[in-house]
């Protein structure tokens, strides 16, 4: 622990998580790594197919102790140090480095665990439950990375627009170019507001100051925040490269790397579909929707006398309708609800971002900090928050999806 919390570069350790195996990433139930008790030590045997922390000193990984049942219930969490006390590798062999689309500055490897010594973390058989808090943090980190990427690209685009002259004047004077950058700014403002809303709630949880309602809200917002911001980052990166014209497509400008690196954000820590299903499970099994709706409604009440009152009323309408709409989808059957999972997740994520952004916009207006956040809140709600689907609509789309997907049996 002192190594992980140190600010001394000579003492600081970094940590990773090794979960993905050949059988898959998000579905860890097929984990094949075996943990064997050897004297007083635990030793791991298996292969980790995709590990992006091969330069870290320690890592958390899932393994199945010999004799444990199949599936997720048989998994335990272990802490692995990469090197022994004498500096030699701890039974870990690098099979190869991955040839990735992007994030090439981060070495990602396929590892063979050949009797590496490991320490169990928590009780055996509770590995998935023990590693879940880590996934919440890494999903928030993913969202922060997405926000940082969008912010940097907007900085570069604004600078380029002031310098690049086309058809007799700088791009900065072109109304259509301004509108394009305004749309990208809205994406960034919404992403940042939602991400820091999650960070606020996580801070309260970690400090032991969160109410049960806030804990439930964070449980829902974490997958939604990661899902939305990751997709935004890819879209913004693509639009940004287009904004640079041909310069955005040639490697010597350093711009294409942004799009390649952005593409990992919807994949790391759960794809859009995985996160959508996670959010649906949280709604169905953990009762998080009503607490989320309750705290959002109270926050919007505080905006009733602000310049954003009209938008706040529209948000409240949609939020108050959400439990009924999702109840109807659930009653239509699990396949109907699952098929609408993406739209449900994007709608709830969009509404959550709208609440946070409206709150920020009202605060900025009241404190003389400009109108940008308020304008972004109005445009975000009007253009970027899809309505929840009705049960009839979702049922019809489910029936059509088999034929359209080309996967009908």
| 191 and 250 assigned to the same domain | yes
The total number of structural domains in the chain stands at 2
Q: What is the pLDDT of residue 185?
A: 98
Specify if 283 maps to a domain: yes
The predicted structure's pLDDT at residue 325: 96
Query: What does DSSP say about strands 34-38 and 41-51: parallel, antiparallel, or unpaired?
Result: antiparallel
**Per-residue pLDDT, 54:** 86
User: Does residue 274 lie in a domain region?
Assistant: yes
Structural domain contains residue 1: no
Same domain, residue pair 162 and 38: no
Residue 261 lies in a domain: yes
Kindly state whether residue 3 falls inside one of the protein's structural domains: no
The residue segments making up the domain with residue 28 are: 14-125
- Let me know whether 308 and 160 are in one domain: yes
373 located within any domain = yes
pLDDT at 27: 83
* 162 belongs to a structural domain: yes
Given 72, 92, 125, which residue is the final one in a domain? Answer: 125
120 and 182 inside one domain: no
Query: How confident is the model at residue 223, as a pLDDT?
Result: 97
Residues 27 and 171 occupy one common structural domain: no
**Residue 208 and residue 223 in one domain:** yes
| Domain end position, chosen among 125, 151, 183 | 125
Are 365 and 406 in the same domain?
yes
Q: Could you tell me if 343 and 302 lie in one domain?
A: yes
Read off the CATH number of the domain in which 65 is found.
2.40.110.20
Q: Are residues 89 and 154 in the same domain?
A: no
Is 120 in the same domain as 247? no
CATH classification at residue 384: 1.20.140.10
The answer to whether residues 219 and 330 belong to one domain is yes
The answer to the question of residue 8 being in a domain is no
Of 76, 107, 125, which residue is a domain's last? Answer: 125
Residues in the chain: 409
- Which residues in the chain land under pLDDT 50? none
Tell whether 37 and 139 lie within a shared domain.
no
Secondary structure (H, E, C), the chain: CHHHHCCCCCCCCCEEEECCECCECCCHHHCCCEEEEECCEEEEEEEEEEECCCCCCEEEEEEEECCCCCCHHHCEEEEEECECCCCCECCEEEEEECCCCCCCCCCCEEEEEEEEEEEECCCCCCHHHHHHHHHHHHHHHHHHHHHHHHHHHHHHHHHHHHHCEECCEEHHHCHHHHHHHHHHHHHHHHHHHHHHHHHHHHHHHHCCCCCHHHHHHHHHHHHHHHHHHHHHHHHHHHHHHHHCHHHHHCHHHCCHHHHHHHCCCCCCCCCHHHHHHHHHHHHHHHCCHHHHHHHHHHHHHCCCCCCCHHHHHHHHHHHHHHHHHHHHHHHCCHHHHHHCHHHHHHHHHHHHHHHHHHHHHHHHHHCCCCCHHHHHHHHHHHHCCCCCCCHHHHHHHHHHHHHHHCCCC
């Amino acid at each position: 622990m002192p190594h992980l919390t140190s600010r001394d570069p000579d003492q600081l350790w970094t940590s990773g998580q090794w979960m993905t195996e050949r059988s898959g990433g998000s579905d860890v139930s097929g984990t094949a790594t075996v943990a064997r008790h050897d004297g007083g030590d635990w030793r791991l045997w298996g292969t980790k197919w995709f590990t992006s922390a091969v330069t870290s000193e320690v890592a958390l990984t899932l393994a199945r102790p010999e004799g444990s049942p199949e599936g997720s219930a048989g998994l335990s969490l272990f802490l692995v140090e990469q090197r022994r006390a004498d500096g030699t590798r701890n039974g870990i062999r690098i099979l190869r480095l991955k040839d990735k689309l992007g994030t090439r500055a981060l070495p990602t490897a396929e590892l063979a665990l050949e009797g590496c010594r490991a320490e169990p973390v928590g009780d055996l058989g509770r590995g998935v439950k023990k590693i879940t808090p880590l996934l919440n943090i890494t999903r928030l980190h993913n969202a922060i990375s997405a926000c940082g990427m969008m912010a940097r690209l907007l900085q570069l685009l604004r600078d380029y627009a002031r310098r690049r002259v086309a058809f007799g004047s700088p791009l900065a004077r072109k109304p259509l170019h301004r509108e394009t950058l305004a749309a990208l700014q809205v994406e960034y403002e919404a992403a940042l507001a939602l991400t820091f809303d999650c960070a606020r709630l996580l801070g309260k949880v970690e400090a032991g100051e969160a109410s049960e309602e806030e804990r439930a809200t964070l449980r829902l917002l974490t997958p939604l925040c990661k899902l939305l911001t990751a997709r935004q980052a890819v879209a913004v990166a693509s639009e940004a490269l287009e904004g640079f014209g041909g310069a955005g497509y040639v490697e010597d400008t350093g711009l294409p790397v942004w799009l390649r690196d952005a593409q990992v954000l919807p994949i790391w820590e759960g794809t859009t579909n995985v996160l959508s299903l996670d959010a649906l499970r949280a709604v169905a099994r953990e009762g998080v929707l009503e607490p989320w709706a309750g705290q959002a409604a109270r926050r919007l009440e505080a905006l009733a006398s602000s310049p954003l009152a009209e938008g706040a009323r529209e948000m409240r309408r949609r939020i108050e309708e959400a439990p009924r709409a999702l109840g109807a989808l659930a009653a239509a059957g699990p396949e109907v609800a699952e098929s609408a999972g993406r739209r449900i997740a994007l709608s709830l994520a969009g509404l959550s971002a709208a609440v946070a952004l409206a709150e920020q916009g009202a605060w900025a207006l009241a404190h003389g900090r400009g109108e940008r956040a308020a304008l972004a809140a109005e445009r975000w709600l009007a253009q970027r928050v899809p309505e929840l689907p009705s049960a009839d609509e979702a049922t019809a789309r489910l029936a059509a999806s088999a034929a359209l997907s080309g996967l009908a049996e």
